[in-house]
Structure 1
Amino acid sequence: MTESSSEHAGTAVMEPGHGPMVRVSGLRRSFGSGPSAVHALRGVSFDIPRGELVALKGRSGSGKTTLLNLVGGLDEPDGGSITVDGTELAGLGEKGLLELRRDRIGFIFQSFGLIPILSAAENVGVPLRLRKAEPRAREERVALMLALVGLADHAAQRPGELSGGQQQRVAIARALANRPALLIADEPTGQLDAETGLAVMELLRAVVRSEGVTALVATHDAQLLQLADRVLELRDGEIVEG
């Protein structure tokens, strides 16, 4: 579509590096049908500017994970639109979504999601192997990421030999390995004690700044919410600015 035709159609065409990192408009998602249907999201709309760490809060079952899965291309909405780094997710197809998740989105989960038989360094290197990165470049990036999260001396240790906080640091390093434009974290401190959770959240904020990443982080911890640039609250399937 040419610039003139897009203007004529009344729609803005974003390209990577321009506009908000995330644009969500009129997003709807329900589970089930009929009277028993659960309406998790009811016309949710918001933008996330580039370089911000935005926290998403809401009661358990409020739809936070559903929203993160939709923004991350892990699920499809019933209606509305999602644009990530200039790319509208609708119509990408499974191959396009896979490439988007691999190349431009990093994920951090509450359960860490590390591979038990791999060392910390090998876990961090998984996304780079999937992209078929050159071995030397991969090793250098893995070493840099482990140093960034303070685990340079633990590269050879497996997840079972690390504390919960250390495992989540490895997960953060892995999520950043491919230089994603967007980082999505679902309750990243949910399995950690308060002190360790705060340290991990402060680390996450620091690496977001140093790597120039935009982050959307779901958390229920009021102390952690204070570290965000902005807070969005999910209430009754709708977004309320914090």
Structure 2
Amino acid sequence: MTQHTGGQSGTALAESPADGPMIRIEDLHRSYGTGAAAVHALRGVSFEIPRGELVALKGRSGSGKTTLLNLVGGLDTPDRGSITVAGTELSGLGEDGLLELRRDRIGFIFQSFGLIPILTAAENVGVPLRLRKADPREREERVALLLSLVGLGDHAQQRPGELSGGQQQRVAIARALANRPALLIADEPTGQLDAETGLAVMQLLRAVVRGEGVTALVATHDPQLLGFADRVLELSDGHIVEHA
């Protein structure tokens, strides 16, 4: 699936087959520490996520949800097993290939928002496009479209400190969509929000999956939000338990 160009970090991303799953995980293991003190976060995890689905990942605190998201997003490396994202097997990628994957195919949404305080909402959304050296006119049009999509078209020039928590998370979602990713990875995106705002953000993610044609893997501890998912995966004792 992966096209090899040689060198430690010179592996190119494979073309993503339209009919294959967005995520394929096979026999994934990840431990921290050694000996009796080792923590086995993942023990032989295997699952697939089709394209265009919003999948919720649940589990108690410390169950390995963040570990799994970091592995799928290429931010961490498994001890054993394989991860394929959008047709590319991650173990075949060096650092340059992983950077390209994260930049071009994956959008990240975090509980802490991760916005740059001195930048306006529009400037925050435009950061990924600047890193990609997109044409300024294309960048401005994409930023305006995304802020409109998340309902913040009138807040483009406000800085994060001038926005509510829910509005900041909406800016973060818009930023995650800037480079038209195939996959959104969200780690407790409503964790800092009140219940009503959290529901609104989850509704937005649901609408984004449908409207933008992306796949989303969303970790959440809130049982009220699981109803927005097409499927629920639960992490328990390092294993995945699938729910309807």
TM-score (norm 1): 0.94
Question: Could you give the per-residue CA deviations for residues 36-72 of structure 1, whole angstroms, max 9, x where no partner exists?
Answer: 1000000000000000000000000000000000000
SS state of the match for residue 68, structure 1? helix
AA partner of residue 179 (structure 2):
N
Deviation at 1:91, TM superposition (A): 2.3
Indicate the residue corresponding to 1:22 in structure 2. Answer: 23
Report if aligned partners of 1:124, 1:173 keep a CA contact under 8 Å in 2: yes
Indicate the residue corresponding to 1:207 in structure 2. Answer: 208
| Corresponding position: 1:195 with 2:196 | yes
Deviation at 1:184, TM superposition (A): 0.1
Matches within 5 A, 1:46-57: 46-57=47-58
SS state of the match for residue 28, structure 2? strand
- Output the CA distance in 2 between the equivalents of 1:14 and 1:140: 27
Indicate the residue corresponding to 1:86 in structure 2. Answer: 87
- Output the CA distance in 2 between the equivalents of 1:91 and 1:19: 18
AA partner of residue 53 (structure 1):
L
| Corresponding position: 1:136 with 2:140 | no
Indicate the residue corresponding to 1:4 in structure 2. Answer: none
- Output the CA distance in 1 between the equivalents of 2:90 and 2:198: 32
Deviation at 1:14, TM superposition (A): 8.1
Q: Where do 4+ consecutive residues of structure 1 move more than 2 Å?
A: 13-18
| Corresponding position: 1:167 with 2:168 | yes
Deviation at 1:207, TM superposition (A): 1.1
Indicate the residue corresponding to 1:230 in structure 2. Answer: 231
Indicate the residue corresponding to 1:112 in structure 2. Answer: 113
Indicate the residue corresponding to 1:70 in structure 2. Answer: 71
AA partner of residue 26 (structure 2):
S
Indicate the residue corresponding to 2:128 in structure 1. Answer: 127
SS state of the match for residue 75, structure 1? coil
Matches within 5 A, 1:1-12: none
Deviation at 1:140, TM superposition (A): 0.1
Report if aligned partners of 1:26, 1:45 keep a CA contact under 8 Å in 2: yes
- Output the CA distance in 2 between the equivalents of 1:208 and 1:155: 23
Question: Could you give the per-residue CA deviations for residues 133-158 of structure 1, whole angstroms, max 9, x where no partner exists?
Answer: 00000000000000000000000000
Report if aligned partners of 1:58, 1:233 keep a CA contact under 8 Å in 2: yes
Deviation at 1:122, TM superposition (A): 0.2
- Output the CA distance in 2 between the equivalents of 1:14 and 1:213: 16
Indicate the residue corresponding to 1:59 in structure 2. Answer: 60
Report if aligned partners of 1:18, 1:85 keep a CA contact under 8 Å in 2: no
Question: Could you give the per-residue CA deviations for residues 166-209 of structure 1, whole angstroms, max 9, x where no partner exists?
Answer: 00000000000110000000000000000000000001110111
CA RMSD of aligned residues (A): 1.4
Report if aligned partners of 1:208, 1:214 keep a CA contact under 8 Å in 2: yes
Distance 1:45 1:133, change over 3 A: same
Structure 1, unmatched stretches of 5+, are 2-12
Distance 1:231 1:197, change over 3 A: same
| Number of equivalenced pairs | 232
| Corresponding position: 1:41 with 2:54 | no
Report if aligned partners of 1:27, 1:41 keep a CA contact under 8 Å in 2: yes
Distance 1:129 1:16, change over 3 A: farther
Question: Could you give the per-residue CA deviations for residues 114-137 of structure 1, whole angstroms, max 9, x where no partner exists?
Answer: 000000000000000111100000
Deviation at 1:17, TM superposition (A): 2.4
Structure 2, unmatched stretches of 5+, are 3-13
TM-score (norm 2): 0.93
- Output the CA distance in 1 between the equivalents of 2:17 and 2:102: 15
- Output the CA distance in 2 between the equivalents of 1:18 and 1:86: 10
